[in-house]
Chain A
Amino acid sequence: MDKLNTIFAATVTREILWNVPTWARALMYILFLAAAVFCVLGIARRVRSWRRGREAGEAVSPGKAWRRLWRDAVLQVRIWRSGAAGLGHALVFWGFLVLFLGTCIVAVEDYGSWLLGREHLFFTGTFYLGVSFALEVFGIFFLLGLVLALSRRRSGERLRPLSRPVDLAVLWLFLVIGLSGFATEGLRIAAAGGGLESHPFERWSFVGWWLATGLQGLEVNVLTSLHLGFWVGHMVLSMVFIALIPYCKLRHIFFAPVNIALREDRKAGRYLGVSMEEVEETGRYGAAVASDFTRRQLMSFDACTECARCQTVCPATATGKPLSPMKVVLDIAGSSEGGESLHGDEISPDVLWACTSCGACVEECPVYIDQLGAIVDLRRHLVAEGEIRGSAQAALRSVAAAGNPWGMPREDRADWAEGLGVPTIDEVDSPELLFWIGCAGSYDRRSRKVTEAMVRILQAAGVRFAILGKGECCTGDPARRMGDEFTYNELAGANIESLSAATFERVLTTCPHCFNAIRNEYPDLGGNYDVVHHSEFIEELLASGRLVLEDGAAVRGTLHDPCYLARQNDVVEAPRSVLRSTGLDVVEPEQSGKEGFCCGAGGGRMWMEEDTGERINSERWSQLQETDPETVAVGCPFCMTMMTDARDAVDSPVEVKDIAELVAERLPGSPA
């Protein structure tokens, strides 16, 4: 039996580099050397360009890095979200990975046996058959994935605005490499050792076998010449591919896994801070040139696959603004080897100020690039240069001087509370809630109604709460999004001081921007609080029975998800469940939850003119109208303003109401 096995193993294999004459082998080694040098130099150049960046941020533990690689590089989990494109990529990736491993096995077998002076190492018998079979299967995956990708481009299903001829060429290159590989195999099986009968076990290479049976009528010398031709072609194209990797979007083959593994843990709503001391020391604030970014940011930009997913979901791009988050990433990557200024015609102030900081790009990117973080760093440079003008500048001055973006007097901040029986924090001993009102909730006429509705809800549920009153000021969110880190630090510092001087269990806020800043960003400045959005808190009150609502007629409605709540803080279910308990029949628009479309007000856009392209709020309003709602529910004062304006622009009778207002209408004894 053992003997039989040995014979089986010895015969069940193939001659590596069969029918490849010395000149062709020499060509292979020369080309490989050239391609490898090209490739390594290209990579080294990129890595050197990262090293010019700043060092910042926390390191990632090896365990975490491997887990991330497994999930998003090997299993391609994040890529699956995009349907056919995701399937196509996963097939190409897995096919490529296994074909690459197969080539490595063959190389190790060949050089290993030569070095050890043995005829074979391990590429025989069952192992040989298993590997052959796997290579066929994954070779088919590879080709299928490519055909899928090419047909999507052919049919123009989603031809990305920036899809270039070179992208198509890369797919064709892969296709030809894959097909020529199978052809070479078929020709070898047909011609080697006197034909098919001499190696029946090659049936395991079922594609090659099938091709070989079709080729049987041809003369052996024709087959061998054809084989050599295809082998040379396959080899040369493969070398071209290797040499190309670092010089086009294929570089993501190396850099995407690196970024997936080593990226910094940072939510889209939590910016990397800059301290006054740092600026004083380095004289640097924001990104003027590529080396002003951190090393990890520069590394991440090289991971870009140019898939344009970010640009497809960007509300600014979608409404005809000059901003494309992908282009920003590529422009920075393109200048990271030189030292030239990033700012100019390509990355202009209009491009940078168009961003709503909605975070859709960050959420969408398959390789975890933080486009928004890059845009904010670039904005910081504009602010340092004074390049923020008009109404946006006025808002910045006002938050700094008056503690609110409209420049309303500080002492009027709690005027809304007059006569409502709302205590300030010094009047209540350790309340359950500190109700954070926010600037809009304090001063904006429409949003004050939401604040008042929330007060009625809290009073009906018997919640002990208090407000900071005149001691509250802007959280600094608008300043931070606009790139004014110093004004942000001052405002946040003042608020942290007020909050830390008070005793309470949790902070409640009806504004997702305040929510995000206090919850995600204040901890970086030493302020740690348990923060809830009113939709979450009302859900709790309803669940615990502290709040009971009256039944009423069902109303058809929809919810516009605030970016800073749903996408950036994963609060998706709470507002829906609360709305359902008010009798609102929530019909989901096409883009909702974490994939929601921005209202257009974030990132300081609330205080800027929108004079290019379509208006983002009108675009969102039209999307919502497809659900045919009687009521559009919102959960953010910015969304409230934007949706109300969009509604008024088309004279629509649809109501725009905050979640709190819809709940307050169903309080026992409320006039409905």
Chain B
Amino acid sequence: MKLLVTLKRTPQRDARIRISEEGDALDLDNVQFEVNPFDELAVEEALRIKEARGEAEVVVVSVGAEECEQQLVSAMAMGADRAVRVHHDGELDSLQVAKALAAVVEREEPDLVLSGKLAVDDECGQVPAMLAGLLGWPQASQASDIELSEDASGATVVCEVDAGLETVSLALPAVIMADLRLNEPRYASLPGIMKAKKKPIATLGIEELGDLGPARSRVTGFRALEDKPPGIKVGSVEELVQALEEKKLI
């Protein structure tokens, strides 16, 4: 079986992000990058499926400039077998990315696509759903448990929804999005990274993938949140009620 994992390069989760003085861009100098944490969960899940079934190929795919090969290598250090990078240096909106990924999926013909539920940079969370829509495949989002049928014709997925947990069955091929509680990813250690450097990364030009259409959304500016005023510590419910009344919040 073949598993395809989509993967985005995002700023390191502890990084402090600043906005440029003009307010039109993020100041990403001195910021380290990593694999989007939710995509890392997706890679881990693919590896677990491979280990449980004894046989499977795990392919990681990223759309981006050369730097994102570092993240593809990290995923291969975890255990992915090979990588595909769709070269593009510049802005794309979610639908354009989804179209590029759909073209890669059509070439690779995987049995299952695993994605993160969102990328921690812009938190749009749209690409995987659009990808499923473009492919006409079923999708399960916010997955906290994935069980494949013996013959890999379908999957049972537990999804985290606002009201609790929802269990859905779907036929493969499908797109499933990983949520936080799906698993605990393994560590991409440096010895693993050294081995991974010998694994292949295929590069595709974005223009090879057909017409992606015009961007339908674009970023017009950034604004930092104002600092929250410092909190106060209250000793009892009475004090809390009093404090809320004073601030005319109740």
- Give me the interface of A with B, judged by CB distance under 8 Å: 276, 279-280, 283, 285, 383-390, 393, 396-398, 401-402, 407-409, 411, 484, 486-487
- Complex formed: what's the CA distance from A280 to B79 in Å? 18
Q: Top 4 A-B pairs ranked by shortest CB distance?
A: A386-B186, A407-B14, A486-B190, A389-B184
Known: A386-B79, A389-B184, A390-B184. A487 touches B16 (CB 8 A): no
- Complex formed: what's the CA distance from A276 to B197 in Å? 14
* B1 close to chain A: CB less than 8 A: no
- Complex formed: what's the CA distance from A407 to B16 in Å? 10
CB of B103 to closest CB in A, whole Å:
31
B14 pairs with A398, CB closer than 8 A: yes
Which residues in B have their C-beta under 8 angstroms from that of A486? 189-191
Which residues in A have their C-beta under 8 angstroms from that of B32? 401
Q: Which of A279, A388, A398, A411 contacts B187 (CB 8 A)?
A: A388
CB of A378 to closest CB in B, whole Å:
14
Which residues in B have their C-beta under 8 angstroms from that of A388? 186-187
Known: A386-B79, A401-B32. A409 touches B14 (CB 8 A): yes
A386 pairs with B16, CB closer than 8 A: no
What 0/1 readout, one digit per residue, does chain B (175-191) give for beta carbons within 8 Å of chain A? Answer: 00000000011111111
Contacts A383-B189, A398-B14, A409-B14 supplied; 5 other A-B pairs, CB < 8 Å: A387-B186, A389-B185, A401-B12, A411-B16, A486-B189
Would you list which residues of chain B between 12 and 54 have a CB under 8 Å from chain A? Answer: 12-16, 32, 34
Known: A280-B194, A389-B184. A401 touches B189 (CB 8 A): no
- Complex formed: what's the CA distance from A397 to B34 in Å? 10
- Complex formed: what's the CA distance from A280 to B191 in Å? 8
- Complex formed: what's the CA distance from A411 to B32 in Å? 14
CB of A228 to closest CB in B, whole Å:
66
Q: Which of A283, A384, A389, A409 contacts B189 (CB 8 A)?
A: A384
B187 pairs with A401, CB closer than 8 A: no
B188 to A, closest residue via Cβ? A386
- A–B Cβ pairs within 8 angstroms, 7 of them: A279-B194, A385-B189, A389-B187, A397-B34, A401-B12, A402-B14, A407-B14
* Max chain A Cβ within 10 angstroms of own Cβ: one of B32, B189, B194: B189
CB of A653 to closest CB in B, whole Å:
20
- Complex formed: what's the CA distance from A396 to B189 in Å? 10
Which residues in A have their C-beta under 8 angstroms from that of B189? 383-386, 484, 486
CB of A22 to closest CB in B, whole Å:
66
Which residues in B have their C-beta under 8 angstroms from that of A279? 191, 194
B16 to A, closest residue via Cβ? A409
Known: A393-B187, A396-B187. A384 touches B192 (CB 8 A): yes
A389 pairs with B194, CB closer than 8 A: no
Which residues in B have their C-beta under 8 angstroms from that of A402? 12, 14
A407 pairs with B194, CB closer than 8 A: no
* B155 close to chain A: CB less than 8 A: no
* B78 close to chain A: CB less than 8 A: yes
Number of A-B contacts (CB under 8 A): 59
Known: A384-B191, A401-B34, A486-B191. A408 touches B14 (CB 8 A): yes
- Complex formed: what's the CA distance from A408 to B15 in Å? 8
B186 pairs with A385, CB closer than 8 A: yes
CB of A604 to closest CB in B, whole Å:
12
A386 pairs with B14, CB closer than 8 A: no
- Complex formed: what's the CA distance from A386 to B188 in Å? 6
Which residues in A have their C-beta under 8 angstroms from that of B191? 279, 285, 383-384, 486
B189 to A, closest residue via Cβ? A383
Which residues in A have their C-beta under 8 angstroms from that of B185? 389, 393
CB of B190 to closest CB in A, whole Å:
4
CB of B144 to closest CB in A, whole Å:
16
Which residues in A have their C-beta under 8 angstroms from that of B187? 383, 386-389, 393, 396
Known: A386-B78, A401-B32, A401-B34. A487 touches B14 (CB 8 A): no
- Complex formed: what's the CA distance from A367 to B13 in Å? 47
CB of B218 to closest CB in A, whole Å:
30
Which residues in B have their C-beta under 8 angstroms from that of A285? 191
CB of B5 to closest CB in A, whole Å:
16
B192 pairs with A386, CB closer than 8 A: yes
A485 to B, closest residue via Cβ? B190
A276 pairs with B14, CB closer than 8 A: no
B186 pairs with A276, CB closer than 8 A: no
- Complex formed: what's the CA distance from A386 to B193 in Å? 11
Which residues in B have their C-beta under 8 angstroms from that of A411? 16
Which residues in B have their C-beta under 8 angstroms from that of A401? 12, 14-15, 32, 34
Which residues in B have their C-beta under 8 angstroms from that of A384? 189, 191-192
Which residues in B have their C-beta under 8 angstroms from that of A390? 184
- Complex formed: what's the CA distance from A411 to B188 in Å? 26
Which residues in A have their C-beta under 8 angstroms from that of B79? 386
CB of A572 to closest CB in B, whole Å:
37
CB of A343 to closest CB in B, whole Å:
14
- Complex formed: what's the CA distance from A484 to B186 in Å? 14
Would you list which residues of chain B between 151 and 205 have a CB under 8 Å from chain A? Answer: 184-192, 194-195
- Complex formed: what's the CA distance from A384 to B79 in Å? 11
Which residues in B have their C-beta under 8 angstroms from that of A386? 77-79, 186-189, 192
Would you list which residues of chain B between 67 and 82 have a CB under 8 Å from chain A? Answer: 77-79
- Complex formed: what's the CA distance from A390 to B184 in Å? 6
Which residues in B have their C-beta under 8 angstroms from that of A484? 189-190
CB of A405 to closest CB in B, whole Å:
11
Which residues in A have their C-beta under 8 angstroms from that of B13? 407
A398 to B, closest residue via Cβ? B14
A400 to B, closest residue via Cβ? B32
- Complex formed: what's the CA distance from A460 to B214 in Å? 69
- Complex formed: what's the CA distance from A388 to B185 in Å? 9
* Max chain B Cβ within 10 angstroms of own Cβ: one of A279, A397, A408: A397
B79 to A, closest residue via Cβ? A386
- Complex formed: what's the CA distance from A50 to B34 in Å? 42
Which residues in A have their C-beta under 8 angstroms from that of B77? 386
Which residues in B have their C-beta under 8 angstroms from that of A276? 190, 194
CB of A517 to closest CB in B, whole Å:
19
* Max chain A Cβ within 10 angstroms of own Cβ: one of B14, B79, B185: B14
B31 to A, closest residue via Cβ? A401
* Max chain A Cβ within 10 angstroms of own Cβ: one of B12, B185, B191: B191
CB of B78 to closest CB in A, whole Å:
6
- Complex formed: what's the CA distance from A106 to B235 in Å? 88
- Complex formed: what's the CA distance from A397 to B13 in Å? 10
Which residues in B have their C-beta under 8 angstroms from that of A398? 14
CB of B217 to closest CB in A, whole Å:
31
- Complex formed: what's the CA distance from A409 to B14 in Å? 7
B47 to A, closest residue via Cβ? A386
B13 to A, closest residue via Cβ? A407
- Complex formed: what's the CA distance from A401 to B35 in Å? 13
Which residues in A have their C-beta under 8 angstroms from that of B184? 389-390, 393
A408 to B, closest residue via Cβ? B14
A390 to B, closest residue via Cβ? B184
Q: Which of A389, A407, A408, A487 contacts B186 (CB 8 A)?
A: A389
- Complex formed: what's the CA distance from A586 to B185 in Å? 47
A406 to B, closest residue via Cβ? B14
Which residues in A have their C-beta under 8 angstroms from that of B192? 384-386
* Max chain A Cβ within 10 angstroms of own Cβ: one of B14, B15, B16, B187: B187
B32 to A, closest residue via Cβ? A401
CB of A68 to closest CB in B, whole Å:
35
- Complex formed: what's the CA distance from A283 to B196 in Å? 12
